[in-house]
Chain A
Amino acid sequence: MLEARGISVRFGGHMALSDVSIDAPAGQVTGLIGPNGAGKTTLFNAITGLLTPSAGTVHIDGRDVTRLKLHRRARHGLARTFQQLELFTMLTVRENIRVAADIHHRWSPEPGDPGVLTEEIIDRVGLAAVAGERVTALPTGQGRLVELGRALACRPRILLLDEPASGQDETETERFGRLLVEVASSGTAVLLVEHDMSLVMEVCSNVHVLDLGQILAVGPPAEVQRNPVVLDAYLGTDTGGAP
């Protein structure tokens, strides 16, 4: 399970995150929602080690990884996808996933053939039809699946997904939701940033709402959806006048 405690990030004079704590228990999908600019991606970057927070700690399965570098944290079972796709454009879908499987194979004590793992994952995320295509030929929705496949190839214990459904159509999103539940039920802690509320409502056991760098509310999705504070965060506080 992932525990992030009291994370603060400062950009110049601007507090991007102030004292944010979030838990993602194993075996569940935990949602993280909030309006644009709330600091969701910044939180992901702080958790994975792409940026150094000014305060706060990150624990993975009870172990403190706050001082570890990016790749060391990854070796504790942390994997992620990116909101802005970070695909390897010179490579095919299969090779993209294979790179991750190879890297994982190198540091992981688990036995296994990265080639076999790659094929398994391609089938699992549903990319078999395009496995030989160069990734730049794919639409964004499938690009997101490649990123998910790469993350899964690292056999993560904690999986952070940054807007994985954007660019996917309704059918794709539905299938993606089922896939996420399946991944989580195999014991992975999934932390999901997503704007597609129907997906969040469907797959998340618990949802955190982030606004202006602070956690506004935590709770089961249905509860969060009814919370007036959350609605205000999304639609703006109605101070302008009477409705």
Chain B
Amino acid sequence: MSHGGNDAASTPRRLVELRGVRAGYDGIEVLHGVDLTVCAGEVVAILGPNGAGKSTTLKVLAGLHPASAGDVVIAGRRVNGATADALARRGLCLIPEGRGIFPNLTVRENLWMMTHAGVERPQVLERSLHCFPQLSDLLDRTSGTLSGGQQQMLAMARGLATDPALLVLDELSMGLAPLVVDSLYETVRQVADGGTSVLLVEQFARIVMDVADSAVLMVQGHVVDSGHPREIEGKLTQAYLGGQENP
């Protein structure tokens, strides 16, 4: 995978392609052939109700969970079976659901861990603090004692500091106040504008309307629709709350 993604000439148009991906737990399939494409520089949102298989799709992509069938293709290479750490060092950055930080390490040490992806320590520090100046006063705090929003900023810092080719976000907003969520997604947009492709799963569909370039709707392990986020939005109420389409 080419690093940075700024160099449009050498970056393949289709950065990520999932073709007929199936996966499951304990022998029970939860993804029944998922097809998904993320083009270079694009922000794609996966929307859908709980249990649709959104997080599993991300885990399969990031090498945290094996696909039982289908192809996971990144930058033209089939990467089924690649380990999560190898993908991370090659520019895939997944910020997992919950808080993607090490709670018993200090903020500074958390930032240090990000250098495993191949970026030097001063750069990580500089980029993170540039984007999240609030963190500079908290460097020596144990990160588990930070507020939810601060913790999520720290987690997001990895997406910025390591300059990934593909940023994958799983439920960035979970348990956070709306204002914090807004500012986090502003950062996501900035990252995307810098040339990084983004694939995100978000339960709160409306938040990502202005962030995502396109969206797919997943229900029960299938991609049932895709298109512009606004087009998908109309179908969401049905998928989430059931009942009539436009209340």
Contacts and interface: CB of A to CB of B under 8 A. Distances in A.
B144 A35 contact: no
Contacts of B243: 197-198, 201, 222, 225
A139 interface: yes
A201 B241 CA distance: 9
B74 to A, nearest CB: 27
Contacts of A234: 203-204, 240-241
Given A12-B144, A140-B28, A235 B210 contact: no
B2 interface: no
Contacts of B211: 240
A48 to B, nearest CB: 22
Interface stretch (B10-18, B86-94, B145-153, B157-165): B145-153
A109 interface: no
Interface in A210-243: 212, 222, 225-226, 230-232, 234-241, 243
Interface stretch (B56-64, B75-83, B121-129, B176-184): B176-184
A201 B243 CA distance: 8
A195 B50 contact: yes
Contacts of B175: 14, 37, 212
Interface residues of A, number: 32
A186 B19 CA distance: 50
A108 interface: no
Contacts of A241: 209-210
18 contacts: A12-B103, A13-B145, A36-B50, A36-B203, A201-B243, A225-B241, A225-B242, A231-B237, A234-B240, A236-B178, A236-B202, A236-B204, A236-B205, A236-B207, A237-B178, A240-B182, A240-B207, A240-B209
Smallest CB-CB A-B distances: 10 pairs: A236-B204, A197-B242, A236-B207, A195-B50, A37-B174, A236-B206, A198-B242, A37-B175, A238-B206, A237-B178
